[in-house]
């Protein structure tokens, strides 16, 4: 199996091109973990099995599908509001539904803008090593008291 995997991924990158990491698990254990190409074109630092990728928007479709499966199984409703899922969320979350989140019509403030504001105010300087985590994004949003537009309107 490993030679076949190598044959698939090796041609996709070289020592000077952006690359990828591959992990194959079987029976609960890693049977293949390799990096190909580089993670930084300036330094040509290579990708290995432990390279941390900031996936950001690449995960949206997987998250959406997981939510759809939860809705299909009756564990979540599209019209459920944010405060039903996160009871500690401020009251403005009562107007935001799961459907709004999936459709990108929630009106939630952009967390990257909120991060920049915090950095300008001398709080939380972020680097590649200290990237923001999901719980920290939620905490930033919980500090706000409104959306940037009424949910469902844009």
**Which of 73, 75, 56 lies closest to 132 in space, CA to CA?**
56
- Residue 17 is among the residues annotated as catalytic for this protein: no
- DSSP letters, 23-51, are EEEETTEEEEEEEESEEETTTTEEP-TTP
Question: How is the chain split among helix, strand and coil, in percent rounded to 5?
Answer: 40, 15, 45
Given 13, 17, 57, 91, the catalytic residue:
57
Residues in the chain, total: 154
Decide if 48 contacts 22 (C-beta within 8 A): no
What are the catalytic residues?
Answer: 57
């Amino acid at each position: 199996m490993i030679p076949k995997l190598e044959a698939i991924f090796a041609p996709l990158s070289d020592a000077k091109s952006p690359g990828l990491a591959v992990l194959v698990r079987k029976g609960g254990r890693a049977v293949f973990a390799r990096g190909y190409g580089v993670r930084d074109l300036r330094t040509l630092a290579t990708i290995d099995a432990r390279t941390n990728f900031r996936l950001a928007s690449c995960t949206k479709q997987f998250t959406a599908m997981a939510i759809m499966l939860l809705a299909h199984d009756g564990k979540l409703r599209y019209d459920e509001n944010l405060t039903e899922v996160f009871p500690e969320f401020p009251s403005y979350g009562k107007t935001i539904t799961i459907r709004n989140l999936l459709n990108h019509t929630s009106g939630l403030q952009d967390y990257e803008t909120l991060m920049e504001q915090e950095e300008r105010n001398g709080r939380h300087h972020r680097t590649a090593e200290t990237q923001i985590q999901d719980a920290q994004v939620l905490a930033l949003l919980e500090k706000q008291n409104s959306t940037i537009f009424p949910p469902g309107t844009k």
